[in-house]
Amino acid sequence: MAISISEAAARHVTRYIAKRGKGVGVRLGVKTTGCSGLAYKLEYADEIAPEDVVFEDNGVKVLVDPKSLAYIDGTQLDFVREGLNEGFRFNNPNERDRCGCGESFRI
């Protein structure tokens, strides 16, 4: 089981944590919602919870709750710029379908 983070995403996270002045990494998980059933949730984490599964890649800790791990195992967190837009992209090998609006996915 593994979660990885690209160099571009690691640079973005590291810069943002430095700007915030606190944080241990990012927390990645899934929630039930949307057209296809599941959506990614990503937030900056200030502490590691006892139940968190911790992955470290490119100098950044990615914290995942055990319930979400089954859905996102093998995912790479990337940060992309397309034209004027920028944001995180989830490259999840378990994803089978994504809704038209791009908000949710199915495995």
Residue labelled with tokens 């983070």? 5
CB atoms within 10 A of CB 80: 12
pTM: 0.87
Dist. CA 68–CA 44, nearest whole Å: 16
Within-domain flag for 105: no
Residue 8 falls within a domain, yes or no? Answer: yes
Q: What value does the mean pLDDT of the chain take?
A: 90
Listed as ranges, residues in the chain with pLDDT below 50 are: none
Q: How many domains does the chain have?
A: 1
Q: Which two tokens stand for residue 84?
A: 């004027």
Assess if residue 106 is contained within a domain: no
